Structure 1
Amino acid sequence: MVKAAVIVLAGTDSHADQGRLANGLETAKEFAETDGDDVELIFDGAGTQWIPELEDEDSDYHELYRTVRDDTSVCDYCAGAFGVDDIVNDAGLVTLDDHDGHPSIRSLVADGYEVITF
């Protein structure tokens, strides 16, 4: 069994950021589709800005996002800092605030997760 934490840090400002989002979603999907694997998809930092677009059914990435949505969580602090906390809450996504309002990367490592950032 493989345990992977895919963390999307890329914001929404550039074409390169869009590519990192797509690659992060595809990576999470590959783990999610593999029997026995455990994946956590975390939107952190500027990456939290993607949530409004991903929740929009007209988004180019909505369907891909839907394949991993059940494995998705969002940094609580960063959702507020980037002004998407209402959308995150309305979507019913899990927020993480384990370490000073942010996800605990150390806990993921201690639990045996390979951490992959995009």
Structure 2
Amino acid sequence: MTKAAIIILAGTEGHENLGRLANGLEAAKEFAENDEDDLELIFDGAGTQWIPELEDEDSDYHELYQTVKEDTAVCDYCSGAFGVEDAVADSGLVTLDEHDGHPSIRSLVDDDYEIITF
């Protein structure tokens, strides 16, 4: 069994960040498709800004996001810092605040997750 934590840090500005989002979602989908793998997909930092767009059914990446949404969580602190806390709440996604309002990366490492950032 593979345990992967994919963390999307890329913001919504610029073509390169769109590429990082797309690659992160595709990587997450690959893990999600394997029943033996354990996936955690976390939107952190500026990456939290993607949630309102991904929740929009007209988004080019909405369907891909839907394939991994059940494995998705969002940094509680960063969703507020980047002004998307309402969209995150409306999405029904879990927010993580284990370490000073942020996800605990140490806990993931301690649980033997491979950390992959985009």
Which TM-score band applies after superposition, normalised by the shorter structure? over 0.9
In the alignment, the residues of structure 2 paired with residue 8 and residue 70 of structure 1 have an alpha-carbon distance, to the nearest angstrom, of 16
TM-score by length of structure 1 reads 0.99
Instruction: Give the partner amino acid of 1:53.
Output: E
Aligned to 2:52: 52
Q: C-alpha root-mean-square deviation of aligned residues, in Å?
A: 0.4
In the alignment, the residues of structure 2 paired with residue 112 and residue 89 of structure 1 have an alpha-carbon distance, to the nearest angstrom, of 29
Aligned to 1:61: 61
Unaligned stretches of 5+ in structure 1? none
Unaligned stretches of 5+ in structure 2? none
Instruction: Give the partner amino acid of 1:79.
Output: S
Aligned to 1:39: 39
1:35 Cα shift? 2.1
Q: Which runs of 4+ in 1 moved over 2 A?
A: none
In the alignment, the residues of structure 2 paired with residue 25 and residue 9 of structure 1 have an alpha-carbon distance, to the nearest angstrom, of 12
1:65 Cα shift? 0.1
In the alignment, the residues of structure 2 paired with residue 87 and residue 71 of structure 1 have an alpha-carbon distance, to the nearest angstrom, of 17
Identity level (%)? 79
Aligned to 1:97: 97
